[in-house]
Structure 1
């Protein structure tokens, strides 16, 4: 039965044929089916490739990683029951007793095969670079394996949480793109661009879960249509709630808004190939911005000011003085301009995009605010694809950016704050900060947390003073649901866009 259903799924996905298959699964189970309005249909169902938050929502329902985060931001075992740093370069993992959708056990050999697929040249896997330090994989027995790294790697457990590092049954992607996972649900039916139906995985390793009879996912690309579908009762839950609709949803007693204000964030990156080679000018920009206006005018008050680096509240790596480093100080900004030889003003170009309103409006607000301190900003705002290409080519003096973090390890910000890394549109380029790269590398290899806290405090101070990264504001991450949807939990802070890893607990009241 499993093989036939997978073949039918493959045919339906490829041809677009309409099969009346999924509805019967939900009816056969009895109970209630959750209807989800998704912001977009995933571009494809291939594993290990980051296709955005919508793709992650589906991935987290059908697959599981070795390790996960809980609601408090603590690492907890998923398919891995335990892990231990045996030596500075070796980690031993023990798998819990768990099974894939077809009932076969999850083994160390399956984990090894998954790593091999991700690490293969040309895999296209998002974690390809992140797993480069893993140089050895030893199968000890069915439920135990050992990973060897080329140097001490304190970040390894956090890397295992990434949503697109799902463990699949060995060889299962030969039959169909998505393979066979071990998540709480499995795909019963999919019509590309139209809908996806999920049925419970009776082999799921968490007792009593999932409780739903099934999940039906329907894409609503237009955000107004997505909200309207929720209000009309056509769906029970939506993702990527538009900020313009959050207040109305929050005020509706029939609905519930589940949000985290310090979610993904907006920031500026700098091109050191021009005037921003001078750190005083980067600092002038940072001190010349009223961040509360970004939260209020662009995100309708649903967000938070970002006056430091993205460090989660309550984390030992977050320090109050550093978190409030970039307060609004126009006089200091003007003094820095004068000190850098631009007392009579400065003209720069800002790269953004007209395609997404939050990027467009952020650029316009940056332009207006910096004009007040004597910086004239010329805007370049093409479509998104052109913007990315221009950014990768190094166009513009500085650029508007928006992103979230993959995990809560302090090293997660490295790819955004170290301009000495290979050029990409997402971070500053063409300048270096003496000692920063070395400090960040030291932090990755230090196993003692107290020492890591000191190392990253020092590295963060380098970033703040050199302004290799200029935070603007956090934007709230939200899911909206009917009041009858129960046990919808959110991951903390920057992890909140990935909260669907907790949706195995969802139920309808």
Structure 2
């Protein structure tokens, strides 16, 4: 089979990018001000653990502390990271050559055996790794020598390299390969200097990083501002130089300040999860009812101040030839149909369910309030549970909810990303708790193995037809995602589309301060 355009570009440029990396050292040193960037971060990252997805704030921190075999560059392409080169031996086999002399921040060596141990751990279904869907077809990992890793899949996956660039796929030391183990020691451009729990996190430039000469910043201090208004106020006042997750209500305020830069792109999406292990959401008719009960226009207005797009089906990434427009046309806003489906399911009016959201992000709360009103209108009483972000993620990943608000930002652009969202938790930290998606995954993987885009689309549509009727997860809206920074901060770029969440953190390595 032929590999995707993105994969071919990455493979074609892998050696060239690796060769050019060192040649930029003098330019990097010329702009190096030795300054520490102060960054207002939207959530307390809590204890970093290896594998599961725990939200955008942790993605950003992971991308400073850790590195995988490959990463995304400023154009969204796959480029070498810990691997100095890589190649597709055939559609199911990838060979990586590690850089010479790699170490973690504590000086311990990184060899092919280290890589194998990390990927084997992520491939364990019980870990709930963000990239489990990609590693579920892992056949073997061979380590013929200390610098060579050969990964064989049981079937082709043209997006495999994209998954390896996910911020949750960094190579980690043996001490992190256990449930709940701390994962602060990595091989990224910055290392942990101080952790003032619940307040701030200070990182210093790592002299062990393979590309340290091209890192301009002396360090990054992340200061936690869970409230979006407080975060924007801190930027305007000069208390911080950059923030993530600019509140949609603050776009105009930031744009009006000539000392600031708003960097907004369309990309991530919000969706609903169901606990399918218990009534009433073990019944697909009840899940369908929710799909038709939600007024997505109201969600966009309430949660994103109009800076978003309603989703009546599967979110698509622009320009990908494997999407069919019909994938975006699965459910309509139809309260009468929702009531009829509830009646058909034998659910009486006055049904009470829990609705998990989080107090950390205002749009999570506002979306939940909008959904709560829509459910009330069709006879479902949803009681909100809005803890802080660490508690929210723990509850979501352990199934302590009936319904839950969630946010999605795939690290791949094709329909294969759906695997992570249909596979049920705890195997996938993105999916509805307990859902068995084996039939959907079979069609997705069959499509991924086809080189002909039209044939692949037909196979993906079979998966989407099941999603329409089973509603394993429920997309609601695609939102604009923004970072904001002082105009003295240079070299940073918010990557477009889904990569705004999963790829942009890599850009801090290229950031400098005038």
**TM-score, normalized by length of structure 2?**
0.75
- 1:241-260 alignment to 2 at 5 Å? 241-260=246-265
Check if 1:456 corresponds to 2:460. Answer: yes
- 1:137-216 alignment to 2 at 5 Å? 137-168=141-172, 178=183, 181-202=186-207, 204-206=209-211, 209-216=214-221
Query: Contact (CA 8 Å) 2:286, 2:341: kept in 1 or not?
Result: no
Deviation at 1:33, TM superposition (A): 2.3
**Alignment correspondent of 2:421:** 416
Q: 1:421 to 1:193 in 2, by over 3 A?
A: closer
**Alignment correspondent of 1:25:** none
CA distance in 2, matches of 1:394, 1:46: 20
CA distance in 2, matches of 1:344, 1:113: 49
- 1:196-345 alignment to 2 at 5 Å? 196-202=201-207, 204-206=209-211, 209-267=214-272, 269=274, 271=276, 282-283=287-288, 285-328=290-333, 330=334, 334=336
Larger deviation, residues 497-506 vs 359-368: 359-368
CA distance in 2, matches of 1:158, 1:386: 27
Deviation at 1:195, TM superposition (A): 3.7
Check if 1:80 corresponds to 2:83. Answer: yes
**Alignment correspondent of 1:8:** none
Q: Please give the secondary structure, in 2, of the residue aligned with 1:480.
A: strand
CA distance in 2, matches of 1:354, 1:184: 33
CA offsets 1:109-130 (integer angstroms, 9 cap, x no match)? 4423433565689878665686
Query: Contact (CA 8 Å) 1:240, 1:477: kept in 2 or not?
Result: yes
Q: 1:200 to 1:344 in 2, by over 3 A?
A: closer
CA offsets 1:139-167 (integer angstroms, 9 cap, x no match)? 23343221233454445323312212212
**Alignment correspondent of 2:487:** 483
CA distance in 2, matches of 1:169, 1:54: 22
Query: Contact (CA 8 Å) 1:281, 1:337: kept in 2 or not?
Result: no
Larger deviation, residues 70-79 vs 341-350: 341-350
**Alignment correspondent of 2:18:** none
Q: 1:387 to 1:207 in 2, by over 3 A?
A: closer
RMSD: 4.3
**Alignment correspondent of 1:24:** none
Q: 1:139 to 1:482 in 2, by over 3 A?
A: same
CA distance in 2, matches of 1:307, 1:299: 17
Q: 1:361 to 1:226 in 2, by over 3 A?
A: closer
CA offsets 1:252-296 (integer angstroms, 9 cap, x no match)? 222222233331413354859767777666555434543222111
- 1:95-114 alignment to 2 at 5 Å? 95-96=98-99, 99-100=102-103, 107-114=111-118
CA distance in 1, matches of 2:84, 2:106: 21
5+ long unaligned stretches in structure 2 = 1-31
Among 27, 34, 37, which residue is 2:37 paired with?
Answer: 34
CA offsets 1:2-58 (integer angstroms, 9 cap, x no match)? xxxxxxxxxxxxxxxxxxxxxxxxxxx854321112234432355546443323222
Among 54, 63, 68, which residue is 1:65 paired with?
Answer: 68
Q: 1:507 to 1:449 in 2, by over 3 A?
A: farther
Q: 1:57 to 1:84 in 2, by over 3 A?
A: same
CA offsets 1:216-267 (integer angstroms, 9 cap, x no match)? 2222344443222212111101223333333322332222222333314133
Query: Contact (CA 8 Å) 1:350, 1:363: kept in 2 or not?
Result: no
- 1:405-444 alignment to 2 at 5 Å? 405-408=409-412, 409-417=414-422, 426-427=431-432, 436-443=440-447
CA offsets 1:394-420 (integer angstroms, 9 cap, x no match)? 875xx2421213421523222433679
CA distance in 2, matches of 1:227, 1:488: 18
CA distance in 2, matches of 1:459, 1:437: 7
CA distance in 1, matches of 2:129, 2:428: 19
**TM-score, normalized by length of structure 1?**
0.76
CA offsets 1:189-240 (integer angstroms, 9 cap, x no match)? 4444444333334564458521223322222344443222212111101223
Q: 1:244 to 1:85 in 2, by over 3 A?
A: same
Query: Contact (CA 8 Å) 1:229, 1:235: kept in 2 or not?
Result: yes
Deviation at 1:326, TM superposition (A): 3.5
Q: 1:79 to 1:457 in 2, by over 3 A?
A: farther
Check if 1:381 corresponds to 2:384. Answer: yes
5+ long unaligned stretches in structure 1 = 1-28
CA distance in 2, matches of 1:162, 1:86: 22
Query: Contact (CA 8 Å) 2:185, 2:192: kept in 1 or not?
Result: no
Deviation at 1:314, TM superposition (A): 1.8
Q: 1:237 to 1:282 in 2, by over 3 A?
A: same
Deviation at 1:183, TM superposition (A): 2.1
Q: 1:44 to 1:90 in 2, by over 3 A?
A: same
Among 352, 355, 363, which residue is 1:352 paired with?
Answer: 355
Query: Contact (CA 8 Å) 1:154, 1:447: kept in 2 or not?
Result: no
Deviation at 1:352, TM superposition (A): 0.9
Q: 1:490 to 1:432 in 2, by over 3 A?
A: closer
Q: Please give the secondary structure, in 2, of the residue aligned with 1:145.
A: strand
CA distance in 2, matches of 1:122, 1:502: 32
Query: Contact (CA 8 Å) 1:405, 1:412: kept in 2 or not?
Result: no
CA distance in 1, matches of 2:88, 2:108: 29
CA distance in 2, matches of 1:390, 1:31: 41
